[in-house]
Amino acid sequence: MVAIKLQTRPSVGDVVTLPGGKRIRIRSVGVPYIQPPPAVCDDPLCPWHGHLKIKLKLMEVTVEKVKMQKAAVAVREWVHYIPKYKRYERRRRRIHVRVPECIEVKPGDKVIIAETRPLAKTIAWVVIGKSKDVMPWRAAREALEGTHTPAPFNPSFEIPGPS
């Protein structure tokens, strides 16, 4: 499996040719505000360049360890309220995630993971991007069509209906 870093970030729908002549198409993972990674791989278990489908259950987690091959350990932290003491406590859960070759992660990185089918005994989540790859989401027709130019916020904006 090969991962090639590109000079510019590809868009959804672009076709990239690898050095061996294999053509890779950049797929849409179904989350319009996450940009594809700046590298291209031929990994079949990559949501961007392979055939892996994701469910729309997303979480932002912190990578703790990257000692497994093509996998990592991520930590999800949240705050839980205890009504008896009227206090909050911090809780954490460690999650094993699949890391495609086109996404480079190291311990301490904030990444976005999505649920997928079980890939191993303990792995059912896949990294779909880093937190810095998230672009501002505007529920407008331009964003749904794939143009990535963020427009200034206009609270009176209406989506035009069928003419």
> What is 65-121 written as a DSSP string?
EEEETTEEEEEEEEEEEETTTTEEEEEEEEEEEE--TTS---TT-EEEEEEES--SS
Position 1 pLDDT exceeds 70: no
Distance of alpha carbon 27 from alpha carbon 98, whole angstroms: 18
Residue 9's φ and ψ, nearest 5 degrees, are -70, 125
18: helix, strand or coil? coil
- CA-to-CA distance for 161 and 81, rounded, in angstroms? 44
Residues in the chain: 163
Tell me, what's the pLDDT at 115? Answer: 95
1.10.238.10, 2.40.50.1000, 3.40.50.720, 1.10.10.410: CATH of 3-134: 2.40.50.1000
- In the chain, what are the domain boundaries? 3-134
For 54-96, the pLDDT digits (tens) are: 998 999 999 999 999 999 999 999 999 999 999 999 999 999 9
pTM for the predicted model, two decimal places: 0.78
